[in-house]
Structure formats: C-alpha cells, structure tokens
Structure 1
Amino acid sequence: MKNTIFCLLLALPLAGLAKSAQEINILADATLERFAEEITGGQRFLNEAAAVLVFPQVLKAGFGIGGEYGEGVLRQGGQNVAYYSTAAASIGFQAGAQSKAVVVVFMNQQALTDFRGKKGWKAGVDGSVAVIKWGVGEDINTLDIKDPVVGFVFSNKGLMFNLTLEGSKFTEISR
C-alpha cells in the first residue's frame, strides 16, 4: 500500500501531462510503426499476438527519488479497447528526466484476460513481463518466445536492452 501511495505522489506532477484519446491513438500509431521498422518481423509478430498495450511516451524524472508516468492504449485485433496509465517509483542514484516508449505484447488470450481482470496490474506481482533481447538482423518470429507477456522499451536512440518493467503499475483509465 505504501509503495502505491508513494508511486502516485511521485507521478502527480507528471499526471498533468494527460492526453486525449485522439492524442494517445496518434502517438500509439507512430510507436507501432517504429516497432515494425526497427524489429525485423515486428509487424507479423504483433499480428499474431492476442493484444498489444502501447505507451508512446512514458516520462521519468527524479533526483535521488524518481517517478514515471505515461498513458497508452490497449489494442486487440487492431481496435482500441481500453486506455491505461503506467506509473512507477524508484529510489537511488538518478538525476534528470527522460522519455521512453513501452510496448507490452500479450501472447495469448489467458494472459490478456488475467491482465484485464485486475483493477491495477503490477508487473512482477500480478504477472511477469519478459523484456526481449536478440541480435542485430535476427527476425523476432524465429525466436522461441514462451513468455505470455513480452515487453519492449524504446528510447530516442532505439530499442533499449537490459531494462525491466518490474514494479510498473498499469491501471485502466477513461478517455
């Protein structure tokens, strides 16, 4: 409970950056286009997924204590089905701000059902999100992905490796 309250307090200044459904949709389209361009086989991979949750802009800021917040859209079969926020808190050496895009892919219907069944789904507690790593030129469709939920994190420079989404909380919002 303390972690949730702490996380919300840190995210409040960033929450003022709330976007409309139309803004989220436009940014999500651009993020998915980038996904398909940067990841060989990415579009086919997304087409085979049960659903994809896209956070086009997750802002993180901190000085010793940090917080991050972003809003996104859950798409199933190419249709927008719900909007979500993500928030997380961190403590440790950090200073400044950054922006990233997060794409969470639900590989099967059961993983999606479990996610949607929670009022606030926390990565690492309610389910695990495997952040995928692979070599340059490798086709994602040739990987043997067994994880039910797979995450991808992009910075301005491209796909980021060695990151985790553990501790991120995803909550449905109205737009």
Structure 2
Amino acid sequence: MERLTRRAVLAGAGASVLLTAACGNGVGSNGAQQIDARVEATKSFLFQRYPGTRDLASRATGVLYMPLITEAGFFVGGAYGRGALQIRDVTVDYYSSTKASYGLQIGAQQYAHALFFMTDGALAEFRASSGWAASADLKYATPEQGASIGKQTTEIDPVVALVFGQQGLIAGATLAGVKYTRIIP
C-alpha cells in the first residue's frame, strides 16, 4: 500500500471541509426566495432575542444579514454562507461569504452574523468592491451589547459585526479571512 504524504492528507482534509461547509447552505441551488426567507427569520430572531439590535439596524445605512454560515475544520478549514444586503429593510443585493483558514482547529459549527454599515462611505466601499474582505476595521460586538453600542462608537467604527446563533463545536485558533462577494441567486 502507498504511504500517504502530509500534503495529500491536508489536501483531502481541505476538500472534505469545503464540501461539508457547503452542504447546509444551498450551494448550487439558486434561490433568492430561500435567502430572503432565511434573512427574515434571522432578523426576527435577532430583534426578538436582542431588542437593542433593532435600534442599531435603524441607525445603520445598510445591513448585510448572513443567516447561515457553516464552518468546519481539521487543521485546514473553511466556511460558506449566503445572505442579503438590505437598505431601509429592502433587499438590494445578495452576497456569499467564504472563509479559508489554516491552523490549530478541529470541529464544525453553524452561526449567523450581521454587518451593520454605520456610514454612507463604508456601505459605498462595500458595494463598489468586487470582493470585500473583513478586516481589523470591524468593531466586533456581542448581540447583548447591541443596546449599548452608543452613538460615538458607531460614528468611530464604520462597520459593526455581530455574530449570534452559534450551534456546534469548533475549537482552536486560526488565521482566517472572510470574503464577501456579490452573487446572483
């Protein structure tokens, strides 16, 4: 029997992770209706569970709702999800979110997140880009903080990110970047 190399094992693990990450997110199914339904359910959950986020959304220029992100990793990891950008509660574009990571990690999880664009400039930059990568400019907050994110914070931080609804277990530290790309579902 042939001996497996470390590179072959990592490549196989990476392919498995990406397939796993894609499974629960409707990859290949082009359903704007499915994305819209998931976005509305996500908004309802977010606003009911964390009432302060409703005010944050009303002050935002636009909000990108990513209702279902599936992430898995075994040293090499990946995540995928689809969502919608809303301006004044109207969907204007659809986006996919992809993430690749490498590092000490094992497990899988699903979660939702929302990006609140607090300035016209931040929203315009996001919409004009061919692929926007989340970076250190983001202000991360927990949903519980949604009520206490004050005016000064949202004026200083042009994009506020909330991650919520986590299910599953993934452990470890990774170097990862999330990229958002406009899609036509």
TM range (shorter): 0.7 to 0.9
Report the Cα distance in structure 2 between the residues aligned to 1:128 and 1:71, rounded to whole angstroms.
22
Corresponding residue of 2:57: 46
1:60-99, aligned counterparts within 5 Å?
60-99=71-110
Q: Deviations over 1:101-157 (max 9, x none)?
A: 010110011110011111011112xx72211248x6872354632200110001346
Larger radius of gyration: 2
Corresponding residue of 2:162: 152
Corresponding residue of 1:110: 121
Report the Cα distance in structure 2 between the residues aligned to 1:23 and 1:170, rounded to whole angstroms.
19
More helix by share: 2
Percent identical among aligned pairs is 33
Report the Cα distance in structure 2 between the residues aligned to 1:128 and 1:11, rounded to whole angstroms.
28
- Structure 2: which 5+ residue stretches go unaligned? 1-10, 168-172
SS state of the match for residue 137, structure 2?
A: coil
So what's the TM-score if we normalise by structure 1?
0.79
SS state of the match for residue 74, structure 1?
A: strand
- Structure 1: which 5+ residue stretches go unaligned? 1-5, 158-162
CA RMSD of aligned residues (A): 3.0
Q: Is the 8 A contact 1:10 1:67 kept in 2?
A: no
Corresponding residue of 2:183: 173
Q: Is the 8 A contact 1:88 1:167 kept in 2?
A: yes
**Is 1:128 aligned to 2:172, yes or no?**
no
SS state of the match for residue 177, structure 2?
A: coil
More moved, 12-21 vs 44-53: 12-21
Report the Cα distance in structure 2 between the residues aligned to 1:9 and 1:27, rounded to whole angstroms.
27
Mark the CA change 1:172 to 1:118 in structure 2 (over 3 Å): closer, same or farther.
same
Provide the aligned length of Structure 1 versus Structure 2. 161
